[in-house]
Structure 1
Amino acid sequence: MARSAAEPLSIDPGNWEVLEKIARSSAAAHRQVQRAKVLLAAAEGVANTVNADRHQVSVNTVRAWRAEYEHRGLEGFGKVKPGRGRKPSIPEEKIAEIIHRTNNTKPEGKTHWSCREMAQEIGVSHSTVQRVWDEVGIKPHRVETFKVSNDPDFEQKLIDVVGLYLNPPQKAMVLCMDEKSSIQALDRTQASLPMVPGRGETMTHDYKRNGTTTLFAALDVLTGKVIGQCLPKHRHTEFLKFLKTIDTEVPQGLDVHLILDNYSTHKHAEVKKWLKRNPRFHLHFTPTSASWLNQVERWFRDLTDKNLRRGVFTSVDELITSIEDYLAAHNQDPKPYTWTATAESILAKTRRARAKLNEVTS
């Protein structure tokens, strides 16, 4: 008789956060990383056989890890069985105390622990603290930014946008569009020094401002090619001008699905009138505070890293020429960004993030 599919593994938000850190860790033991990934996949409802094949373990191993988690949680997670390998240099209670204090307390007058301060607090060596942090992927010196969208239509907009990525419509072009506004033409106060062996390129910390421009860009999700245009501002008049540019660039006979944010310019009355006269254009708005859903933001990051940040521009015209050169070079060999996350997986992570926020703020 066929075995019924296992129910999704129940993991509370606190343990989920720990498992995600281990799964992303480059310092943790391979078996720990593998086990964390298996448990996370089990919580997302991945079947045991698929889970085992995806992470290159046996089905029995997946079942054993699930059963142990259901029985013991993270207690003893990833530890070597008694009687095998080198004996631990400090007791499990001390390790648990290091992890607990790192995650839940702060040194007096400071925002986070250093390994030496934690070592002095606990009474162990700083190398021991560092080793414990490495094993569970804790990095107190680092901070990442995030914001959970509070858009009341978050789920509907998310499903709409991700659906365009994973299942694009026929006879249509899907474009991720946004404006990179107020790009400054910055000139340095002294000439930069070239890179030499043992020293990178150097440039002055101060600069002279020579004006700004706004880049309108639309990334073709299928090919990675970008339609771009620099304009003085980013009002609805400039947005309409860019829509007309897109209209000339996209072959007739194809619908145009534009993924863009909720900026008021995109919903201006004149824009709505133009869209009525051009029915092949369809606008899809990302949820508020969810710019990460728009793939053109990834291209903007590349533009900043590879062209703008170390550029020297004595005028706005120089800046625009440099951006256009980068755009032309990119379009000679474009590469699309591969979107793999499903709407269901994103919604699950969002629910966990909201639960964690409620836990912290309650």
Structure 2
Amino acid sequence: MLLAANGMQNKDIAEQLRIGRVQVSRWRERYVQSGLAGIERDLPHGAPPLKVDTARLVELPPHSKPLAATLEHAQDGRRVERERQHVMRRWHAHGLKPHIVRGFKVSRDPKFVEKLEDIVGLYMSPPEHALVLCCDETSQVQALDRTQPGLPLKKGCAATMTHDYNRNGTTTLFAALNVLDGQVIAQCQQRHRHSEWLKFLRKIDRETPKDKTLHLIADNYATHKHPAVQDWLAKHPRFNMHFTPTSASWLNMIERFFRDITTERLRRGVFTSVPELVDAINEYIAHHSTTPKPFIWTKSARDILQKVIRANRRLSSKQNGTLHFYDEN
């Protein structure tokens, strides 16, 4: 204020005192408005503290839906006029994750309990002198070739891959996982009809000890129950089929192997033809077979059933009718 009284300009004052011109202007404005009192008293710094209704904030994600949107955290944050990071910190403290949605489906199979106990029993107490094989096929495995070559991973930069691709055909992977030792019997075929399924069953018959009874776990796909398949199974009594409940493919441990081969070999792969894709699959399975590791099933049928019952109750409370396919006894 003394320098300004001597006629100095703001820029000269800022340069002499080594502060910003805006700061000089603000202090002069405060002096003009309030005199000495305006520069003697200390004003609050920064933004005022947020006053958050935590109960209201925690209640928003489960019980509200924003207009014209499905992700709730941004809309809800604006609704309560709070900064996004502050809202996210409060939700994190209460264990709420509105940005995550997990898929599920409760089976409506009337024989759910019977099939559940049968399959889990094979996992946890396999019969003697027998092999338990988890079987399935994954169709439409695509041979994708990227439109441009990607760049490799290096320090400070992630590997790159074009978002678009050329389709070079598909194959179907049939696989059977031995629950005991983790060995996999696999075969790639062009289609997944009952004739291809029969061809795969014959492969299993050739590559397993003849003195062993075979218990095959499969889903309810129509090709697995085709009349021609039934006739073949009748002529090969050592094959025993066990079908998972509908909408319960998670009971088949081969799905875990399909996930592994997808994430570890196929998802980022570049294949210019179907034969190249098939070679990559066979190479992965051969490498897997050198040091196989079985998946260990730990959940009992009773534990799974109790979890399904709880899920069924929650669904029943959201619908008009009550869903029934078993009771707690």
SS in 2 for 1:288: coil
Q: In the aligned structure 2, how far is the partner of 1:332 from the partner of 1:309?
A: 22
Question: Could you say which residue in structure 1 is the equivalent of 2:188?
Answer: 230
Q: CA deviation at 1:343?
A: 0.9
**Does residue 82 of structure 2 align to residue 96 of structure 1?**
no
State TM-score, norm by structure 1: 0.71
Question: Could you say which residue in structure 2 is the equivalent of 1:107?
Answer: 66
Question: Could you say which residue in structure 1 is the equivalent of 2:117?
Answer: 159
**Does residue 61 of structure 2 align to residue 134 of structure 1?**
no
Asked whether the equivalents of residues 118 and 126 of structure 1 are also in contact (C-alpha less than 8 Å), the reply is: no
SS in 1 for 2:134: strand
What is the aligned length? 271
Q: CA deviation at 1:315?
A: 1.1
Q: CA deviation at 1:130?
A: 2.5
Name the CA shift for 1:126/1:316 in 2 (closer, same or farther; >3 Å).
closer
* Superposed counterparts of 1:155-194, under 5 Å: 155-194=113-152
* Superposed counterparts of 1:208-223, under 5 Å: 208-223=166-181
Q: CA deviation at 1:112?
A: 3.3
Q: CA deviation at 1:117?
A: 4.4
Residue 178 of structure 2 aligns to which amino acid in structure 1? Answer: D
Q: Using the TM superposition, name which of 154-163 and 127-136 deviates more.
A: 127-136
**Does residue 293 of structure 2 align to residue 320 of structure 1?**
no
Question: Could you say which residue in structure 2 is the equivalent of 1:196?
Answer: 154
Residue 182 of structure 2 aligns to which amino acid in structure 1? Answer: G
**Does residue 294 of structure 2 align to residue 336 of structure 1?**
yes
Q: CA deviation at 1:124?
A: 5.5
Asked whether the equivalents of residues 173 and 256 of structure 1 are also in contact (C-alpha less than 8 Å), the reply is: yes
Q: Deviations over 1:129-148 (max 9, x none)?
A: 32332233211111111111
Name the CA shift for 1:205/1:278 in 2 (closer, same or farther; >3 Å).
same
Q: Give the counterpart of 2:220 among 258, 262, 267.
A: 262
Question: Could you say which residue in structure 2 is the equivalent of 1:145?
Answer: 103
RMSD across aligned positions (CA): 1.8
Q: In the aligned structure 2, how far is the partner of 1:182 from the partner of 1:117?
A: 39
Q: CA deviation at 1:122?
A: 3.7
Q: Deviations over 1:99-144 (max 9, x none)?
A: 2222101223222322x64344346564553233223321111111
Q: In the aligned structure 2, how far is the partner of 1:90 from the partner of 1:162?
A: 53
Q: CA deviation at 1:323?
A: 0.3
Q: In the aligned structure 1, how far is the partner of 2:81 from the partner of 2:273?
A: 59
**Does residue 311 of structure 2 align to residue 353 of structure 1?**
yes
Residue 113 of structure 1 aligns to which amino acid in structure 2? Answer: E
Q: CA deviation at 1:90?
A: 7.5
Name the CA shift for 1:238/1:136 in 2 (closer, same or farther; >3 Å).
same
Q: CA deviation at 1:346?
A: 1.1
Q: Deviations over 1:51-97 (max 9, x none)?
A: xxxxxxxxxxxxxxxxxxxxxxxxxxxxxxxxxxxxxx989xx4332
Q: In the aligned structure 2, how far is the partner of 1:194 from the partner of 1:112?
A: 34
Asked whether the equivalents of residues 259 and 285 of structure 1 are also in contact (C-alpha less than 8 Å), the reply is: yes
SS in 2 for 1:328: helix
Residue 221 of structure 1 aligns to which amino acid in structure 2? Answer: V
Asked whether the equivalents of residues 174 and 220 of structure 1 are also in contact (C-alpha less than 8 Å), the reply is: yes
Q: Deviations over 1:176-219 (max 9, x none)?
A: 10001111111112222211211222122111111111110001
Q: In the aligned structure 2, how far is the partner of 1:189 from the partner of 1:123?
A: 45
State TM-score, norm by structure 2: 0.78
SS in 1 for 2:201: helix
Asked whether the equivalents of residues 147 and 289 of structure 1 are also in contact (C-alpha less than 8 Å), the reply is: yes
Residue 297 of structure 1 aligns to which amino acid in structure 2? Answer: E
Q: CA deviation at 1:254?
A: 0.9
Q: In the aligned structure 2, how far is the partner of 1:110 from the partner of 1:243?
A: 49
Structure 1, unmatched stretches of 5+, are: 1-88
Q: CA deviation at 1:158?
A: 0.9
Which protein has the larger Cα radius of gyration, Structure 1 or Structure 2?
2
Name the CA shift for 1:127/1:330 in 2 (closer, same or farther; >3 Å).
same
**Does residue 252 of structure 2 align to residue 294 of structure 1?**
yes
Asked whether the equivalents of residues 98 and 129 of structure 1 are also in contact (C-alpha less than 8 Å), the reply is: yes
Q: Deviations over 1:297-335 (max 9, x none)?
A: 111011111111111111111110000000000111111
SS in 1 for 2:72: coil
Q: In the aligned structure 2, how far is the partner of 1:124 from the partner of 1:202?
A: 37
* Superposed counterparts of 1:241-260, under 5 Å: 241-260=199-218
Residue 282 of structure 1 aligns to which amino acid in structure 2? Answer: N
Q: Give the counterpart of 1:281 among 229, 239, 261.
A: 239
